Each structure stands twice: as C-alpha cells, then as structure tokens.
Amino acid sequence: MSSSPLSKKRRVSGSETKTGSNYSTANSIRTDLTAAPANGMARNGNEAEIDEGLYSRQLYVLGHEAMKRMQNSNVLISGMRGLGVEIAKNIILGGVKSVTIHDQGNAEWADLSSQFYLREEDVGKNRAEVSHPRLAELNTYVPVTAFTCPLTEEFLSNFQVVVLTNSSLEEQLRVGELCHNKGIKFIVADTRGLFGQLFCDFGEEMVVTDTNGEQCLSAMISMITKDNPGVVTCLDEARHGFENGDFVTFTEIQGMTELNNGEPVEIKVLGPYTFSICDTTSFSDYIRGGIVSQVKVPKKISFKSMKDALAEPEFLITDFAKFDHPAQLHLAFQGLHEFHKRHGRLPKPRNEADANEVFVLTKSVNEAAPAGVQQEQLKEALVKNLAFMAAGDLAPVNAFIGGLAAQEAMKACSGKFMPIMQWLYFDALECLPEEKDKDSLVTEEKCNPRNCRYDGQIAVFGSDLQEKLGKQKYFLVGAGAIGCELLKNFAMIGLAAGEGGNVTVTDMDTIEKSNLNRQFLFRPWDVTKMKSETAAEAVKRMNPNIHITGHQNRVGPETEKIYDDDFFEGLDGVTNALDNVDARMYMDRRCVYYRTPLLESGTLGTKGNVQVVIPFLTESYSSSQDPPEKSIPICTLKNFPNAIEHTLQWARDEFEGLFKQPAENVNQYLSDPKFMERTLKLPGSQPLEIIEAIYKSLVTERPTSWQDCVAWACRHWHTQYSNNIRQLLHNFPPDQLTTSGAPFWSGPKRCPHPLVFDDSLVLHLDYIVAAANLFALSYGIAGSRDRTAVVEMVHGVNVPDFTPKSGVKIHVSDQELQNSNASIDDSRLEELKNALPSPEKLAGFKMFPIHFEKDDDTNFHMDFIVAASNLRAENYDIPPADRHKSKLIAGKIIPAIATTTAAIVGLVCLELYKIVQGHKKLDSYKNGFLNLALPFFGFSEPIAAPRHKYYENEWTLWDRFEVKGIQANGEEMTLKQFLDYFKKEHKLEITMLSQGVSMLYSFFMPAAKLKERLEQPMTEIVTKVSKKKIGKHVKALVFELCCNDENDEDVEVPYVRYTIR
C-alpha cells in the first residue's frame, strides 16, 4: 500500500473569509499550527482546495461540489460533553471551513464515561479549552477555536451552522428562533442514558441537490412509441432501475431526435423495462438506438422553527417496533427539561421520587399540548425510564446520535442528501438487564455516582455490569475505520479495563494518508506506522486502565498457531472490523466452532449494517449471503464495450497483462525447472499464450534502453487503438447486417473508429509516458518524465504499416468463445519452446512484476489506467471518466465517511452491552441497517439458527458430535472403531467421511484400500491423505459426515469435533 506524502489537489473557487476575528482573546483560543506538519497536510487555515489524497474515500460519498460547499461553512458546536465532542470530531474530519467549540462548564467525573478527549486530570477544567488542542489535531485543514462565553446574537451571526448539545429547552428555543430568522442552519442533539433526541431546522427554503446519493442510472433503448404519453422500452439485458417521478434525458436516439439532449423529462414507471414520458405523437418516427440517463433535479424543502415544530412535530421513525415511542418521548423530554428548570439538576439515577415527579410534569405537558401532539395515554414505564437514566452518559449512544447529528450538519452545509424532517427520537431499552434480573441489578444504590470515570455508565446499568465489562477478554479483528471507533468505545465503557481483562487487536496494515479522514486515532505523523500498535497506544491515552495488545497478523489458516484453541477458548467475544467477505466468513466459522459471540458490521458510504451472532440463538454471518457481483462478459470487454466501466476493466486487464503477469512468468521460467512441464499441462490455449508472452518478453520485445521502452509504448498504442479496431471493422463493417437483417452495430454494440496518433494531444502522450515508464520499470531500466524528450523519441519510431487480414476469427459472444474449441498449433508451440533462450544463458537476469497500487499518484499506475481507458472510450464514443472516477471504479474503492462509521459502531456497542450481560432472548438483540443519506433506519431481531432433525434429535449449526479420539487405554481410535461408535451410539451408518478437502472414507472405496484404512488410527489417515502434519497446537479435528439412518435414508447431521489432545 502506498503512503506517499504527495497528493493531487484541486483548486476550489471561493475567497477565504476570516472567521472569529471579533472573538475576545480572553475567552477564545485559536489553533495556530505554523509549521506545516509531515505528510503534506497543510496547516490549519482553509486553503480553499480539496486534498484528494486525504479526502479520497469521502469524496466518493459526497462529491467535489458538496465538499466545496462544506469548505465555505463555519460551524459552531455548543456543549463539549461526550455527544458534543463526537459531533465535533466527525465534522472536523469531514472538512468544513472552521469549527468553533463552545462550553461554559467544567469537566466532571461523569463526563469521562464518553468524552474521549478528557483525561482524569482534566476534571474541574473547562471542557472546551481542554478538548480544543486534541480536536485541532484531527484535520489540519480545519481551524478549531474554543469559546467560553454566553452565545450572543452577534456571535452566532458568524456561523452557517449551529449545533446545540447539553442545553436547556429555553436556550434551544432562543437560539433556534434567532437562527431561523437569520437563515442559520440549526441542530439540537441530546442523549440521556439509552435515549437520544435530534432536531433539525435548515430554514424555509433549503435546496437539496441530491436526495439519495446514488449513482445516476442509464439504460439502452430498444423502442419508443408515438403516443400520449410515449412509452420507452429498454433493452432486456438489465432492468432500468428507475422510479416514478425520476427525471431523465436522452442521447444518441436515431429517428426521434427531438428527444436528444433536451430538458429533463419526468417519467412514470410501467414495468422493469418500460416507462412513459411526455406526448411523443408529433415527433419523428423512432428508428433505433439511444441512451436514457437519470438526472438529479434539485428539491426545495421547508422547515418549521423549533417553536413551531415543538407544537406540530414531524417524526422520523428509527425503529418500527417502537413506532409509538417518538410521540411519547417528545413530551417526556419536555417534562425532563421542566424538572431540570425547577431543581437546577437532573433526576437522580433510579430515584423513584424524582422519576414520579418527571412523570407528573410530563402529564402536565401532555395536558397543555395541542390536539395533534396530545397522547391519549402516557407510557409511564417509558417516561420513568428516561428519568431513571437522565443523568447517564453512554459512549455508544453518543456515537450513534453524534454520527447522525454530524451528518445532518454536513447536509446543512452542502445540500447533499435528505435532512431529517424534523425530529428523531431513539431508545435502546433492550440493553437493560432482561426482566427477571432488572430489579436486583439496577437499584438506586448500585447506580449512585462513585466519583469515577464510569459514573455516566453506572447511572444507567449499575456497578455490577461495570465490573463485568472490566473482566472481558475480546478479540478485535481490524484497526481501520470501524476498528478505531470500536476501540474508542471500548476505552470509554471500560471494556477490559479491570483485573483479568484484555483486548487483542490485530491488523497487518500500515497507516496511509487516505486513512486519516476517518480512522480518527491516527495523525499525519503516524503515516507508515502499524495500525494496531498506533491505535492501541491512542486508546491507552483515552483510558490508561484498558488492557490492550496490538498484533500485526492476518487472520486465516496460516495464523491458527497463534489464534489457537487456547486463545479462542479464553475469549468472551469477537468483534469484526474487516473490509472483505472472505475474512468475515473465516472469523464467522471460527466463532461458530468455538461458540463465541460475534459482532459483525460494515459500511458503504452512508449505508451501514450491524449483525449480532449469538451461540445457540441466532444464525451465523455465513448463513445468508449477498448475490455474487455481475461480471462483464469477456467479449464485451475485448470487442464491444458500451460503458466506461468496460473500458476501465479492460485497462486494468491490460495493466496486469503487460506489466505484472509476463514478468512473473519470466521469473518462474528462469528459476523453477518444473515451470515448463506445469505450463504445458494447462488447458486450452493457455500454454501457447504463456510461452508466447515469455518469448516476447525475453526476445522480440526485450528493451535495452529507455528509448526502446518509448518505441514499444508507441507501437503498442498503434496496435490497441488503431490496428485492432481496423481489424474489427474489417470483420464487421459499420453497415453490416445480422442474419435477421438488423444492423450488427446496434443495441449494446457501439461501432468503433480507429484513432490517429497525435503527440500534441495530452491524452496520447500521457499514455506513451506512463506505458513506457512502467515497461522500463518491469525490466529495471530507468524511466523519465521529460515529455519533450519523449516526443522527440516518438518521432523516430518506425511503426509498421498495418493491413487488416481475412480469416481472423473474432468471437461475438461468450457462448461462441466457449464453443470454439481453440485448436492449439502444436508446431508453433514447439517452435517457441525451442526458440526460448535457456535459463542458464540468462543467469542473473530477472524482471520486476508491478503490482497495481491506486493511491500513489507518482507511480504511473493510475496515469496508465486513465489514459488506456479513455483512449478506448474515444474509440467507441463512450464519454470519458476523470481520474477521480476512474480510480473509484478501477481501484474498486469502497466509499467511506466518518459519520456512518461512528453511528454503526455505536449500535455495535449497544449489542455488546447485551452480550456481556448474557441476554438470553432473541428479541433482546437487534440487527440494524441504516442509510444516513435518505435517512432510513431499520432494526429487526436476528434470525434464529435454523433447526434440523435426525431421528428425534433437533440440532442447529451450533451443535456437533463430541468424540474423544484417545480411548481409556491410551490408544487412538481406528477408522473401524470410529464407524462402529456412530452405529452403536447414534444409530447412524457413515457413508462418507471427510476432513477439510480430504476424503478419509467412502462406501465406494476400493476394498484393498478400505481394508488397510479401517485398522489405521484416525490422525494417521488424516496426515496421509492431506499430506500435512497435524500442528502441535491442534487439540481437535473437524470431520464432516454423510450418514444413513436405520431405514437406509440419507440424513443431515452435525459435524464431529474429534479431540486428539
């Protein structure tokens, strides 16, 4: 992975206006990092440019336009307790123009349960002043200022967005009214124990440029009727994916040209391949072709002021199982504010008298409420729960509400995505002890403050859970974005911070610049260090009591010596923070085998999900899978591309086929005596292709100088963008008809045209410079960036004339390609084999395979991909893609943003509370899905583990047969004894027995082999068949069985855990 300090930057228009110039120095602190820090991040003081190296993953979520608008926004966040600092952290990472943090209060013990930038020694100091330098380090492009005076109208006028946390209802109404009248976007966020509240008012005329953040769809047209309304039918290759009310534009239509390049048209969906548009009766007749593309149309929305919205609330439901909670909590929060106003304090934890008073006050609020808000009956238990835990302060709830609030602030700045309209209420009461335990575990005495850093959490759950959390042994796999957020939450809740507790975190990656935008435990000076160690050190600063060990191991069969039986059997749970399905499935299998709870989560841009896997209760991660990704047909890539995705994949294949595979094959040929023998055994035309490539690399195309590399690049340009296209058009002329009389070049087949090389065109020269440098690098020859010199060299290159040949076969479909049994020219193969220089003659020579790395802008990799793809796009008249979009598609980048990660991890840690308490009911747990762009939230109880049966025995994926391999006499079981054991104990006849990919026994085995095997010990058979020794760390083997019951019927049975030590 690259960690290059250089990054591509784009200029952004908009002049710099200085913020905070009227702050009094006595009450505000301004960051001033005068020295430019390491790794190319500029100092604080917005330089009006987007650093793509830093913001790349977020740019794929928000886009350049939204980022530019954010860079013109000054944001105020008031209240620097756990929720305020979470919101500030996410907004600063997001890259607004400036952030001012405001708090007039001093740090208390209860703050430490979630305020990750306060230390124990900070108790008694102003929260904003203490948090300020730590927040300022997060993003050196965002100036951070601390302010400690009351919020005046004059002061608030400096900001485009104001966020209030930890504030009174009077203050919210005062500031809200002021912001509404001045056109300042306004957000209120609040958390009380397991409850959260969010309110947005973005003015009476908010324009949303993109309501969902999805890529615009496009489809190819096969027919348009002349009708009112006209009906458009798309090619039946794929569903169009449009929705009612979408707006579309048309291009490349032949015949009904009136539709081409017109104003966006609103559509009505009729079916998966059809939709209706405007009146087309007066248009010309449709002939053929055309592309329909979705366009985003800005949407105006209007918000009520807080005062009006309090009386006429509109709720966004977060959990449909609790659809009646928001209206109740809307009143309960007002009752709580009233209690605070009367007593100058919050209700005491679990204090019955205080809770009763809050309930009475809420009743009064309800009675005085307008008809639309008034509740027929108040839920006493719900209101009292809010009062019981109002003094509580939980890191996971702050992470969830803080992620949402920060995303709303970014929507306010950028107009990107649909805001919350206007109230959101959330609760996670399932985290409390299950009913039978509740009264004994959560009492007033157990929830009283102890003047310790966990007071905010003890107020909700009592001291017993705190002790349990401290003793936990957890395994965290991954220290990227999700991993960093998890570790922060672990430190705050005190996981593994007590006697005997430990968190093991493993990640084999080093920190790169693009990580800093969301992996908030890392700083510019950490680039190139190991993630796991750096993250472990960072959270130890947040909570010095946490016991944490950093590893640099990949999880997989190769590290089972480290993460062995002893390791897993000592764990209380596993949390995945992975970025690929294979590793997730591997960890899932391990957790099922060791019967360990697993918390699984993932994000994609503004989308995120949480899955909780509980032994003997839920299905596992692997129980359900996403459908496989659609692959692009080979013939589409080779000859008939119609979208930029096709040309980019073609360019990636070119990269591998020119600069990686040939070098790897040459090195194997030179160093491995059995390489040739292995290659000749490969199927189809592979042997000829590989040996031909080696011959080219070592003989016909081997360069000896930089000039040779430029000449090769120039000739290769002509082959790909001129000669091959001319050959294709020779086989299939532009006016060719199919057997049915339809034009060959129609529908998804775009007719190409050859390009003429012109060194004055930037794109043409980009290709030559990048290809020549990469080719040179693969031979260890020094390249050059001198474009003028390259142009001179190109002028001297002799490009052979090309004449298209007859008899060249070009496959039109993948089916045709499969059916054509490529007959290998054996004489050509033999000729090439003999012409290859022997490895002895090339002693000491080796090539240098190039592995594609998208994030280093100095290595020519993306230069080559962009040029190769866009030249091919020009061949086929496909609109080109800029470097940013090309990197996303070719590099298979997963878009990411800090807000989603924070919110998802908050939900993960709420499930963690339940696991540590040992919740037994399936409906206590919640799988979650969210999309902050829409915004949408969905929670469901996990799916129960599916049940199977043999005879009268019910079993799930969590069950197994336990067989002790070593018998009482110290001897190990033979295969015969193993088979007999199952017949006698379980009335099952084993028909097949395997271990991993090794077949140990089957009923159709040759008699002689079977006779020999039956008397052998099981471990001996395993070693013999798998040709691998059993490691000393292995305590047990896993066997899979196929069995028949007594009626000779096939039955599905669990696996066997066969203990050998």
3-state secondary structure of 826: helix
C-beta neighbour count of 1052 within 10 angstroms: 11
Which string of DSSP letters, residue by residue, matches 478-492?
Answer: --SHHHHHHHHHHHH
| CA dist list (Å): 731 to 138, 716, 734, 755 | 59, 21, 10, 18
Closest CA to 322 of 461, 199, 196: 196
Residue in the block written with tokens 């009310």: 245
Q: Are strands 936-940 and 927-931 parallel, antiparallel or unpaired?
A: antiparallel
Show the tokens assigned to 640: 């008939």
- Say which DSSP state 973 is in: P
CA pair distance 1009, 599, nearest whole angstrom: 46
Residues found in the chain:
1061
| CA dist list (Å): 877 to 270, 830, 941 | 30, 42, 50
CA pair distance 913, 897, nearest whole angstrom: 25
Helical (H) or strand (E) element with 928: strand 927-931
Q: Are strands 598-604 and 607-613 parallel, antiparallel or unpaired?
A: antiparallel
Show the tokens assigned to 1048: 């000779």
Catalytic site includes residue 635: yes
Dihedrals φ, ψ of 417, to 5°? 80, 160
Which listed residue (635, 709, 714, 751) is catalytic? 635
Closest CA to 500 of 475, 472, 536, 465: 472
Amino acid of residue 769: V
3-state secondary structure of 623: helix
Q: Cite the beta strand spans of 583-711 per DSSP E.
A: 598-604, 607-613
Residue in the block written with tokens 């499930």: 911
CA pair distance 139, 516, nearest whole angstrom: 8
Dihedrals φ, ψ of 552, to 5°? -120, 35
CA pair distance 124, 133, nearest whole angstrom: 17
Cα angle 343-345-350, degrees, rounded to a multiple of 5: 105
CA pair distance 546, 338, nearest whole angstrom: 39
Helical (H) or strand (E) element with 208: strand 206-208
Q: Are 926 and 609 in contact (CB under 8 A)?
A: no
Q: Are 318 and 937 in contact (CB under 8 A)?
A: yes
Dihedral of CA atoms 561, 562, 567, 569 in degrees, nearest 10, equals: -30
| CA dist list (Å): 42 to 37, 47, 142, 474 | 7, 8, 10, 38
Helical (H) or strand (E) element with 181: helix 169-182
Q: What residues are labeled active site?
A: 635
